[in-house]
Amino acid sequence: MNALVSRYTRPQFEGETVAQDEDHELVSSVNPLSLKFALPPIAQPSSWLRAMTDDYSNPNCPIKIAHGTTTLAFRFQGGIIVCTDSRATAGNWIASQTVKKVIEINNCLLGTMAGGAADCQYWLAYLGMQCRLHELRQKRRISVAAASKILANLVYSYKGYGLSMGTMCAGVTPQEGPALYYIDSDGTRLAGNLFCVGSGQTFAYGVLDAEYRYDLTVEEALELGRRSILAAMHRDAYSGGSLNLYHVKEDGWVKHGFNDMNPIFWKTKLEKGEFSNVTAEMDGF
């Protein structure tokens, strides 16, 4: 068998062997627990990655990355509402309808996913580790401002290397009250009362901007979150699946279900008079 394999195997050139050795040395030199990634062994890796994956700067790039989602969060007098859809797309097809886009960083802090799923999951998981280390060292819970700053500093150090993130950090502490921050892959960090992120954000903002106020009751805030995501899922092709809804309070977050949107859609249509363009039969409702 070895003779047969050697007969039909193309011999390696010396240059190929050297390149393989260099790649192996580059990967093995990075500690598995380190934040340093093995980058392409070229002079300007960020420019190379942009040319390979950014179809805005290079329409002929070989890897076209398409993202789509809808995530939202807003502050009100009873805490913070965090709500997302659950659809993951890969180009023009639906990869999953059950993605959990709310990341439970710890029992008091939530993050959301928009952009590249791997980037968001990895960095928010690492943020959770840093928050736990802070609690062990300082003997107190980390503030939302500090947690969001850690994440912004981390992703800024990889600016231009192809990260794709648009995430929110939401939490309530005695010192800050309800605190909400938006962080993206460029290192941008913004505090605000409400944010929507993703391809369906325009539709969600339409509902939020019309009906948001700070003195909402808990039930009104939960309903506003549902209706905002519903509007995005109804019109945005890259948003769909189920609705993931959380209420963040000072003593921790409460999950209000991973719910199918069809009953919520018909209930909203009948009770609110919305989506009047849909004229299907509604027997049984």
Res. 90 pLDDT band, cuts 50 70 90: confident
The DSSP string of 187-229 is --EEE-SEEEESTTHHHHHHHHHHH--TT--HHHHHHHHHHHH
Give yes or no for residue 173 having a pLDDT over 70.
yes
CA 107 → CA 128, 133, 144, 163, distances in Å? 10, 14, 13, 27
Q: Are 255 and 222 in contact (CB under 8 A)?
A: no
59-82 pLDDT, tens digit per residue, is 666 665 556 789 999 999 999 999
Res. 128 pLDDT band, cuts 50 70 90: very high
Strand, helix or coil for residue 45? helix
Q: Catalytic: 69?
A: yes
Better-scored residue on pLDDT, 148 or 31:
148
| Structural domains of the chain in order of their starting residue, each with its CATH number | 71-272 (3.60.20.10)
Residue tagged active-site, from 9, 17, 53, 69:
69
CA 52 → CA 40, 45, 212, 214, 231, distances in Å? 12, 10, 41, 45, 34
Distance CA 3, CA 6 (A): 5
Per-residue pLDDT averaged across 114-134, rounded?
91
Share of the chain above pLDDT 90, in %: 48
Q: Which residues of 53-83 are buried (b: 16+ CB within 10 A; e: fewer)?
A: beeeeeeeeeeeeebbbbbbbbbbebbbbbb
| Residue 241 amino acid letter | G
9-62 pLDDT, tens digit per residue, is 445 444 444 444 544 554 454 454 455 556 667 777 667 666 666 655 666 666
Give yes or no for residue 119 having a pLDDT over 70.
yes
205-258 pLDDT, tens digit per residue, is 999 999 999 999 999 999 999 999 998 998 888 888 889 999 999 899 999 988
CA 166 → CA 93, 120, 205, distances in Å? 21, 8, 16
Res. 95 pLDDT band, cuts 50 70 90: confident
